[in-house]
């Protein structure tokens, strides 16, 4: 027999670790090739880890809720003799003493402990991804990171703060103390009375619970979403702009072509890809909205990657990303929207599907809302909410005069970060999106 080490696979460029949420196979269970062995969760997506071989699960190296690094061995599977995945073969001629095995396992465990980076998610403070990466590379502990006095907004630790701390820590030299005695007559100071004001501590309002109330603990994803939302509001200065859009031509065009579109492309044509196409065009016109903020620095994004907020069956929210959205035509956009939306609903998204977004769109009209004020998806600086499309009476201007007619209209709600986006840019951007939608060619092909 042979032993195969099942390792945590690479799940994307920016994903370095995952949490084990459930073991689908227990020690002694038979496993087929490509069969799921356990379920894991990153900070955005839940997924399964399949086996690359067939065999028997003989050891689980981590338990439920343990944090595992990419590339670490998480389980041992015993396979058939002669497998190409041979790791440790014991025969009659080769006998490994128990003491050697124990020492080797101890050394490996020590290596993993040293290699495991600090878990900065346990801190109550908000640190940007760049600051966390620098801290990990320089082996700055969570306690050290929390002790740094940040120069950013609300005391946030910036890139300059963490780099200065690392330099000072590296160049710190013990200076011998020299005691100098100087005889100086100093008159006794007058007594000073100092009133110390007690610090104001904000506490959550107490919640009363009676016998008829049900107490339900938040699931893991809801806890993450809760933390992200609070951190975003504390980080960005949210401000909103609203604009009403006449989308009558879009509604008529979709009604006219949706059957032919589905027959030819095998995809349903919704309003979302049409809206996403307009947003991608507007971002090319206003690259100042396609940025992120890190401390006192603005990072201009090269690619336009549109996040698409999607509701999950359990009520939680996830934001898959359409990469290089400005390079897609309407058919490509529709396929991307449908693919990500379907995989979000069925729990088939991969970690990379939720990474790298530069701007986000959320469709609050799906649930009947006329408009909303969405919270920015950090570290982006803007998010657009699409309201419900409604038939409303409107003034229609013609050469023969004005008259009242029934039009299809919707509201666009643009939330943006006032630290770096002023009203002129935030308002001009959403106005450009509206112009693209109202100028939609009803005779265009798909």
DSSP-based three-state secondary structure for 446: coil
| Residue 73: both structure tokens together | 């061995």
124 is catalytic: no
111 CB neighbour count, 10 Å cutoff? 10
Q: Which residues contact residue 20 at a Cβ distance below 8 angstroms, ignoring those fewer than 6 apart? A: 38, 39, 40, 62, 63, 64, 65, 66, 68, 74
Asked if 48 and 24 touch (Cβ cutoff 8 Å), the reply is yes
| Catalytically annotated residue among 46, 65, 418, 441 | 418
| Residue 126: both structure tokens together | 């908000």
How far apart CA 19 and CA 438 sit, in angstroms, is 46
Q: Which residues contact residue 251 at a Cβ distance below 8 angstroms, ignoring those fewer than 6 apart? A: 389, 408
How far apart CA 414 and CA 186 sit, in angstroms, is 65
How far apart CA 397 and CA 390 sit, in angstroms, is 20
DSSP-based three-state secondary structure for 99: helix
How far apart CA 77 and CA 31 sit, in angstroms, is 8
Asked if 413 and 373 touch (Cβ cutoff 8 Å), the reply is yes
How far apart CA 141 and CA 136 sit, in angstroms, is 8
| Catalytically annotated residue among 34, 422, 441, 443 | 422
414 is catalytic: no
For helices 272-285 and 330-345, give the axis angle rounded to 10 degrees.
120
DSSP string, 360-395: EEE-GGGGT-S---PPP-TTBSEEEEEPPPEEEEEE
Q: Where in the sequence numbering do the catalytic residues fall?
A: 418, 422
């Amino acid at each position: 027999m042979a032993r195969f080490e099942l390792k945590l696979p690479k799940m994307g460029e920016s994903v370095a670790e995952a949490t084990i949420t459930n073991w689908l196979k227990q020690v002694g269970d038979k496993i087929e090739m490509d069969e799921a062995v356990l379920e894991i969760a990153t900070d955005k997506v839940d997924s399964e880890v399949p086996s690359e071989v067939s065999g028997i699960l003989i050891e689980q190296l981590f338990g439920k809720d343990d944090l595992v690094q990419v590339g670490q061995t998480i389980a041992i599977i015993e396979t058939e003799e002669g497998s190409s995945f041979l790791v440790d073969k014991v025969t009659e001629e080769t006998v490994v003493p128990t003491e050697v095995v124990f020492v080797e396992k101890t050394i490996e465990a020590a290596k993993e402990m040293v290699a495991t980076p600090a878990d900065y998610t346990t801190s109550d403070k908000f640190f940007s991804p760049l600051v966390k990466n620098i801290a990990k590379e320089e082996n700055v502990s969570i306690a050290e990171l929390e002790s740094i006095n940040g120069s950013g907004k609300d005391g946030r630790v910036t890139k300059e703060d963490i780099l200065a701390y690392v330099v000072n820590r590296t160049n710190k030299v013990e200076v011998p103390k020299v005691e100098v005695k100087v005889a100086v007559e100093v008159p006794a100071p007058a007594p000073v009375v100092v009133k110390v004001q007690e610090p104001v501590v904000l506490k959550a309002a107490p919640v009363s619970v009676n016998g008829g109330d049900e107490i339900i603990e938040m699931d893991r994803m809801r806890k993450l979403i809760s933390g992200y939302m609070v951190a975003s509001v504390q980080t960005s200065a949210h401000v909103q702009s609203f604009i009403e859009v006449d989308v009558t031509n879009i509604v008529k065009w979709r009604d006219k072509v949706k059957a032919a579109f589905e027959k030819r492309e095998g995809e349903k044509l919704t309003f979302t890809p049409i809206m996403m196409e307009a947003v991608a065009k507007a971002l090319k016109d206003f690259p100042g909205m396609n940025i992120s903020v890190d401390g006192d620095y603005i990072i201009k994004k090269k690619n336009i990657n549109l996040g698409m907020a999607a509701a999950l069956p359990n009520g939680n929210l996830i934001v898959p990303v359409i990469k290089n959205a400005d390079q897609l035509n309407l058919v490509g956009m529709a396929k991307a929207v449908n693919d990500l939306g379907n995989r979000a609903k069925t729990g088939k998204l991969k970690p990379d599907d939720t990474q790298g977004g530069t701007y986000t769109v959320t469709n609050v009209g799906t649930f009947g809302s006329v408009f909303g004020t969405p919270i920015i998806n950090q570290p982006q600086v803007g998010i657009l909410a699409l309201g419900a499309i409604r038939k409303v009476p409107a003034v229609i201007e013609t050469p023969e005069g004005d008259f009242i007619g029934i039009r299809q209209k919707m509201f666009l709600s643009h939330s943006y970060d006032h630290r770096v986006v002023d009203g002129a840019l935030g308002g001009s951007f959403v106005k450009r999106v509206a112009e693209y939608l109202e100028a939609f060619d009803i005779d265009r092909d798909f």
